[in-house]
């Protein structure tokens, strides 16, 4: 008997489908030849193993199917929703049309702006300011007491570059930075860069009395921001400098804006433009706004973005470039000492 | 369609013995959660649980097929005991023996030899599937389709372009001979290297 025939008969034997003739043929073959007998036994082992492998794969497949069913079950409600959407397509289009019309005509934007976002320039909302200046221009010569704003700004290079919030100085042409910590000085500055969307402005001290600032002990952080990290700020929410502390509470800012972060520092008008420093004394951001709706949510422009802006500014400047401090000299100091070192470099920005 | 909850224990066992897909699925649906809980409470994740449950179920599956096997406790208890044993062995292997095992259910003692046998069997099966891959085409697909995926000879002949099912059959036996050769030869080789 050749091996192919033996294999065939072995398989039938394994399945129990041998008829009598085949059975005899097989038995006589394997009883007379020990080599065939061995082959037969091997065949049976192989079939057994194939059978077991089939069971294993079946089990695996079935369990996988059950897992998928569970998954589908979870998504069923979603399917239903989709179906509703399909069947009510006409209604949806109508709604979109109406909403779209309202949106483009500015019906919504007016409201949402007012309800949820305040920029922290002191005293004034743009609206009253415009109105008042209009009034004074039209009717009288006496200056309104509110016709200026103040905010905060901080120096980033010894040759007199200062970062602040654009909305503070937006409507004014005459800008001064004031510091009265050790000695009073008040310099006139000019605007060298502004971006209304990111609410960022870079000023340069342009006063003829000005030589240079003292050494800048902090640097812009280039490390990844950590949620929950301790941070603090210094700002001029009144005539003198005020300290405020909190932690980083979200990686993104208002409306998931990724240029900004959310910090839990209580902020007041006047804090705008202040630096946000971490415990090492590195600047992680610049405070720019707070939420009217969420308690304690203050927003700050990321230092990463400040870097980018300064880089692009430098590429445009021919001389007198912004030279960023490279080293952080505050690392090992405790907070009161850190503040002592930096308070001279944080200014009240006054705009008239 | 029978709902999972309405199977009696005897029905379930009979179903498994006859390779009923519904019965196998029902057992998974009914008893997986408990094993998963047990493993999660004892330092495993849900993927571990799936692997262990599958192994444990195969022990039951193989035993049910034996004529002399008689289950003298609930399926649930049996599966739990086997999976528990497998997981404890696994933990021991990883040197992560936790003195405190969080038990969820009563369990029967499982013979270690049974688990060992099962492990041997698993090794053999992974050897077999390796051999199947080693065979190359067309033998590999032909044998897998027939023996593992339950295709008929006619379907295979159509799929692989044989003129009729008899041709395919002859080819299948030839492939089987080759498979047998490497299956047993490699095993001998393995044993020699171990010694």
Q: CA dist A33 to A19, A38, A181, A203, B174, Å?
A: 21, 9, 110, 103, 21
The Cα A310–Cα A324 span in angstroms is 9
Q: Where are the beta strands (DSSP E) in A34-184?
A: 117-119, 149-157, 161-164, 175-179
Contacts of B25 in chain A (CB under 8 A): 62-63, 65-66
- Give me the residue label for tokens 């020699």: B192
Per-residue pLDDT of chain A (352 residues; tens, 9 = 90+): 777 778 888 888 887 777 888 788 878 877 887 777 887 888 888 888 888 888 888 888 888 888 887 776 666 555 666 666 667 777 878 888 888 887 777 666 655 555 556 666 655 455 555 555 555 555 544 444 457 788 999 999 888 899 999 888 888 888 899 888 777 788 889 898 888 888 889 999 988 778 888 888 888 888 888 899 999 999 998 888 899 999 999 988 888 888 889 999 988 888 889 999 998 889 999 998 888 878 888 999 998 888 888 888 888 887 788 888 888 888 888 889 889 888 888 999 988 8
pLDDT in tens, A149-190: 889 999 998 888 999 998 888 888 888 998 887 777 888 898
Its sign, for the CA torsion A183, A188, A191, A195, is: positive
The Cα A262–Cα A253 span in angstroms is 5
Query: With an 8 Å Cβ cutoff, are A62 and B170 in contact?
Result: no
A4 touches chain B (CB under 8 A): yes
CATH, range B4-110: 1.10.1740
Q: How many CB pairs under 8 A join A and B?
A: 69
Structural tokens at position A106? 């500015």
Structural tokens at position B20? 């009923």
The Cα A141–Cα A331 span in angstroms is 52
Query: Which pLDDT does position A144 carry in this prediction?
Result: 45
Query: Which pLDDT does position A129 carry in this prediction?
Result: 58
Phi, psi of A157 (to 5 degrees): -150, 155
B119 touches chain A (CB under 8 A): no
* Interface mutation vs chain A, best among B15, B27, B28, B143, most A CBs within 10 Å: B28
Residues in chain A: 352
Query: With an 8 Å Cβ cutoff, are B54 and A54 in contact?
Result: no
CATH, range A149-351: 2.40.10.120
Average pLDDT over residues B126-148: 80
Which string of b and e fits B3-25 if b means at least 16 CB within 10 Å? ebeebeeeebbebbeeebeebbb
The Cα A20–Cα B160 span in angstroms is 33
Query: With an 8 Å Cβ cutoff, are A43 and B62 in contact?
Result: no
Contacts of B29 in chain A (CB under 8 A): 66
Using CB atoms, pick whichever of B19, B173, B179 lies closest to residue A58: B19
A58 touches chain B (CB under 8 A): yes
Query: With an 8 Å Cβ cutoff, are B177 and A7 in contact?
Result: yes
The Cα B46–Cα B51 span in angstroms is 9
The Cα A10–Cα A39 span in angstroms is 9
**Segment holding B175, helix H or strand E:** helix B165-194
Q: Which fold has domain B114-194?
A: Arc Repressor Mutant, subunit A (1.10.10)
Residues in chain B: 195
The Cα A121–Cα A115 span in angstroms is 17
Phi, psi of A153 (to 5 degrees): -150, 160
The Cα B90–Cα B118 span in angstroms is 14
Phi, psi of A190 (to 5 degrees): -120, 155
**Residue ranges of the domains in chain B?**
4-110, 114-194
Query: With an 8 Å Cβ cutoff, are A59 and B57 in contact?
Result: yes
Residue A285: how many other CB atoms lie within 10 Å: 30
Query: With an 8 Å Cβ cutoff, are B124 and A57 in contact?
Result: no
Contacts of B124 in chain A (CB under 8 A): 49
Please, what is the angle between helix A34-87 and helix B46-65, to 10°?
130
Query: Which pLDDT does position B2 carry in this prediction?
Result: 47
pLDDT in tens, B149-168: 878 777 777 777 777 777 77
Given a cut of 70, whether residue B191 has pLDDT beyond it is no
CA distance B99 to chain A (A): 32
B 74-113 residues with CB < 8 A to A: none
Q: CA dist B45 to A340, B50, B96, Å?
A: 52, 9, 14
Query: With an 8 Å Cβ cutoff, are B58 and A55 in contact?
Result: yes
CA-based R_g, chain A, Å: 38
ipTM of predicted assembly, 2 dp = 0.79
Please, what is the angle between helix B165-194 and helix A34-87, to 10°?
110
Using CB atoms, pick whichever of A46, A59, A65 lies closest to residue B180: A46
Structural tokens at position A343? 């308070």
Query: Which pLDDT does position A76 carry in this prediction?
Result: 58
pLDDT in tens, B17-40: 888 888 888 888 888 888 888 888
Q: What SS3 state is found at A204? A: strand
- Give me the residue label for tokens 């503040």: A339
Query: Which pLDDT does position B50 carry in this prediction?
Result: 87
């Amino acid at each position: 008997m050749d091996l192919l025939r033996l294999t065939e008969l072995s398989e039938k034997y394994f399945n129990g489908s041998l008829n009598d003739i085949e059975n005899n043929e097989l038995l006589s073959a394997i009883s007379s030849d020990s080599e065939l007998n061995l082959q037969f036994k091997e065949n049976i082992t192989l079939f057994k193993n194939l059978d077991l492998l089939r069971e294993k794969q079946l089990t695996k497949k079935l369990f996988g199917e059950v897992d998928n069913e569970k998954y589908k079950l979870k998504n069923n409600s979603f399917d239903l929703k989709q179906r509703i959407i399909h069947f009510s397509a006409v209604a949806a289009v109508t709604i979109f049309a109406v909403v779209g019309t309202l949106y483009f005509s500015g019906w919504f934007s007016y409201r949402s702006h007012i309800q949820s976002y305040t920029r922290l320039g002191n005293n004034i909302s743009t609206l009253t300011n415009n109105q008042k200046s209009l009034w004074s221009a039209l009717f009288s010569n006496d200056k309104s007491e509110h016709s200026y704003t103040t905010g905060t700004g901080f120096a980033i290079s010894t040759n007199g570059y200062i970062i602040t919030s654009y909305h503070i100085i937006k409507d004014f042409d005459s800008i001064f930075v004031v510091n009265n910590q050790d000695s009073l000085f008040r310099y006139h500055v000019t605007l060298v860069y502004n971006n209304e969307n990111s609410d960022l402005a870079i000023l340069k001290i342009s006063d003829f009395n000005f030589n240079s600032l003292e050494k800048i002990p902090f640097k812009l952080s280039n490390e990844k921001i950590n949620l929950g990290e301790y941070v603090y700020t210094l700002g001029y929410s009144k005539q003198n400098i005020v300290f405020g502390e909190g932690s980083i509470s979200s990686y993104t800012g208002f409306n998931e804006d990724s240029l900004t972060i959310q910090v839990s520092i209580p902020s007041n008008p006047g804090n705008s433009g202040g630096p946000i420093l971490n415990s090492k004394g590195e600047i992680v951001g610049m405070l720019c706004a707070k939420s009217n709706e969420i308690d304690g949510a203050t927003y700050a422009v990321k230092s990463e973005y400040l870097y980018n802006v300064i880089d692009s500014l430098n590429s445009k400047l021919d001389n007198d470039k912004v030279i960023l401090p490279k080293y952080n000299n505050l690392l090992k100091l405790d907070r009161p000492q850190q503040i002592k070192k930096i308070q001279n470099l944080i200014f009240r920005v006054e705009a008239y | 369609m029978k709902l999972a909850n309405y199977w009696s224990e005897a029905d379930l066992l009979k179903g498994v013995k006859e390779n009923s897909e519904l019965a196998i699925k029902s057992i998974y649906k009914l008893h997986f959660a408990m094993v998963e809980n047990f493993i999660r409470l004892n330092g495993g994740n849900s993927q571990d649980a799936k692997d262990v449950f599958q192994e444990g179920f195969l022990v039951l599956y193989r035993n049910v097929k034996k004529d002399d096997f008689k289950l003298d406790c609930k399926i649930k208890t049996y599966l739990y005991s086997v999976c528990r044993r497998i997981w404890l062995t696994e933990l021991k292997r990883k040197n992560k023996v936790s003195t405190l095992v969080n038990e969820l259910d009563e369990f029967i003692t499982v013979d270690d030899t049974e688990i060992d046998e099962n492990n041997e069997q698993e090794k053999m099966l992974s050897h077999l599937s390796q051999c199947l891959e080693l065979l190359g085409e067309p033998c590999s697909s032909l044998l897998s389709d027939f023996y593992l995926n339950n295709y008929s000879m006619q379907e295979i002949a159509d799929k692989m372009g044989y003129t009729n099912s008899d041709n395919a059959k002859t080819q299948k036996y030839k492939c089987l001979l080759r498979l047998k050769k490497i299956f047993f030869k490699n095993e001998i080789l393995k044993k020699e290297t171990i010694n």
